[in-house]
Amino acid sequence: MGFALSAMQARSNAFGPQQPIPVRHTGEGDDIAPSLHWTGAPEGTQGFAVICHDPDAPLISPGSYGFVHWVYYNIPQEVTALEEGSEAYTHGVTDFGRQTYGGPMPPEGHGVHNYYFWVLALDQSLQLEPGLTMWQFLEQVEPHVIGMSRLIGTYER
């Protein structure tokens, strides 16, 4: 299928669509991942992954697309929710250079940024190694994406 929105619906108990992300989930607060839950995964789903990125961030390097805040994968097919601060699955490397969630922290005075929390449904349980960048991760999973949804939250400093 490739990358296309599907009937999946991603939500959070922390914030609604196009609503501000609470400070608790930002670099100015506790820097803890918000809870996420999803419904409507396509038939044949064997695993899930989550990416959070800020397309409004200044480019950090040529060929980059915004700023990556979370790469989280190897989530089993029976899981339909992540608790706040989830650490049960595999982390990739963010643009902060860490293998954990890194909350919103746009430059001061840069205006409102949009944070895209993508939930990907995969047709295989890939069991990928830890520490992949978003681009390394996407290269491996793109052929296996059978559904996706996004939740967009906002934040401004």
Q: What percent of the chain has pLDDT over 90?
A: 86
d(CA 37, CA 22) in angstroms, rounded, equals: 17
Would you place residue 66 in the very low, low, confident or very high pLDDT band (cuts 50, 70, 90)?
Answer: confident
Task: Calculate mean pLDDT across residues 12-24.
Answer: 98
Task: Calculate mean pLDDT across residues 106-128.
Answer: 94
- pLDDT surpasses 80 at 84: yes
Ordered by start, the domain boundaries in the chain are 9-155
The beta-strand segments (E) located in 29-123 are: 36-39, 47-54, 67-76, 81-82, 90-91, 113-122
pLDDT for position 65:
72
Q: How far is CA 117 from the centre of its chain?
A: 4
pLDDT for position 62:
55
Task: Calculate mean pLDDT across residues 128-157.
Answer: 95
> Which residues does 27 contact at the CB level (< 8 Å), separation at least 6?
102, 103, 104, 105
pTM: 0.93
Measured on CA atoms in the order 109, 111, 117, 118, is the torsion positive or negative? negative
For 91-112, give the DSSP string: E---TTSSSS-----PPTTS--
CA atoms within 13 A on the CB side of 68: 25
- pLDDT surpasses 70 at 1: no
CATH number of 9-155: 3.90.280.10
Cα angle vertex 7, ends 16, 33, to 5°? 40
- pLDDT surpasses 60 at 91: yes
When the pLDDT of each residue in the chain is averaged and rounded to a whole number, the result is: 93
